[in-house]
Amino acid sequence: MADYTIDETVDITDVVCPVTFVKAKVALEELDEGQILSIRMNDGEPVQNVPRSIKEEGHQILKLLDNEDGTYNLIVRKAAD
Amino acid sequence: MAFSNEQLERYSRHIILKEVGVKGQKKLLESKVLIIGAGGLGAPAALYLAAAGVGTIGIADADEVDLSNLQRQVIHTTLDLGKAKVQSARETMEAVNPDVRVRAYQTFVAADNIMELVRDYDFVIDGTDNFPAKFLINDACVLAKKPFSHAGIIRFRGQLMTYVPGQGPCYRCVFKAPPPPDAVPTCRQAGVIGAMGGVIGSLQAMEAIKYIVGKGELLTGALLTYDALTMEFRKIKLPGNGSCAVCGQNPTILKPFDYEQAGCEIKA
- pLDDT tens readout for residues A35-45: 999 999 999 99
Percentage of chain B with pLDDT > 90? 90
Chain B residue numbers with beta carbons less than 8 Å from the beta carbon of A22 are 8-9, 11-12, 15-16
Chain A residue numbers with beta carbons less than 8 Å from the beta carbon of B53 are none
**Selected residue of B1, B4, B5, B14 to mutate for chain A interface (largest A Cβ count, 10 A):** B5
Are A57 and B5 within 8 A, CB to CB?
Answer: no
- The reply to whether CATH 3.40.50.720 applies to domain B9-237 is yes
The distance of A13 to chain B (nearest Cα, Å) reads: 12
* C-beta of residue B61 within 8 angstroms of C-beta of residue B85: yes
**Selected residue of B4, B16, B19, B25 to mutate for chain A interface (largest A Cβ count, 10 A):** B16
Q: Who among B3, B11, B16 is closest to A21 (CB)? A: B16
Are A19 and B8 within 8 A, CB to CB?
Answer: yes
How far is residue B189's CA from residue B186's CA, in Å, rounded to a whole number? 5
How far is residue B262's CA from residue B246's CA, in Å, rounded to a whole number? 23
* C-beta of residue B198 within 8 angstroms of C-beta of residue B151: no
User: Which residue in chain B has the smallest CA separation from A19?
Assistant: B9
pLDDT tens digits for B199-214?
A: 999 999 999 999 999 9
Name the pLDDT band for B263 (thresholds 50, 70, 90).
low
Are B12 and A26 within 8 A, CB to CB?
Answer: no
The answer to whether B13 faces chain A, any CB pair under 8 Å, is yes
pLDDT recorded at residue A3: 82
The distance of A24 to chain B (nearest Cα, Å) reads: 10
Evaluate whether residue A2 is within a structural domain.
no
Chain A residue numbers with beta carbons less than 8 Å from the beta carbon of B22 are 25-26, 29
Q: What is the ipTM of this complex?
A: 0.75
* C-beta of residue A50 within 8 angstroms of C-beta of residue A23: no
- CA A80 vs CA A28, A60, A77, B27, B213: distances in Å: 11, 11, 10, 20, 19
Evaluate whether residue A3 is within a structural domain.
no
The distance of A25 to chain B (nearest Cα, Å) reads: 8
pLDDT tens digits for B112-138?
A: 999 999 999 999 999 999 999 999 999
pLDDT recorded at residue B267: 44
Domain with A60, as residue range(s), is 8-77
pLDDT tens digits for B20-57?
A: 999 999 999 999 999 999 999 999 999 999 999 999 99
The answer to whether B12 faces chain A, any CB pair under 8 Å, is yes
Are B15 and A25 within 8 A, CB to CB?
Answer: yes
Q: Could you give the 3-state DSSP secondary structure of residue A35?
A: coil
10 Å CB burial of residue B213 (0-12, 13-18, 19+) is buried
The distance of B125 to chain A (nearest Cα, Å) reads: 30
pLDDT recorded at residue B211: 98
Report the run of H or E that residue A62 belongs to, with start and end: strand A60-66
Structural domains counted in chain A: 1
Single out the residue of B93, B122, B128, B94 nearest to residue B109, CA to CA: B128
Chain B residue numbers with beta carbons less than 8 Å from the beta carbon of A29 are 21-23
pLDDT recorded at residue B190: 86
pLDDT recorded at residue B11: 96
pLDDT recorded at residue B167: 95
Evaluate whether residue A61 is within a structural domain.
yes
pLDDT recorded at residue B268: 37
Q: Is the pLDDT of residue B98 over 80?
A: yes
The answer to whether B16 faces chain A, any CB pair under 8 Å, is yes
Name the pLDDT band for B183 (thresholds 50, 70, 90).
confident
Q: What CATH number is given to the structural domain containing A26?
A: 3.30.110.40
* C-beta of residue B136 within 8 angstroms of C-beta of residue B256: yes
Chain A residue numbers with beta carbons less than 8 Å from the beta carbon of B13 are 18
Are B5 and A22 within 8 A, CB to CB?
Answer: no
pLDDT tens digits for B224-262?
A: 999 999 999 999 999 989 999 999 999 999 999 999 876
Are B16 and A29 within 8 A, CB to CB?
Answer: no
What is the pLDDT of chain B when averaged over all its residues? 94
Evaluate whether residue A1 is within a structural domain.
no
Single out the residue of B164, B133, B166, B137 nearest to residue B63, CA to CA: B133
Chain B residue numbers with beta carbons less than 8 Å from the beta carbon of A11 are none
- What is the value of pTM for the model shown? 0.91
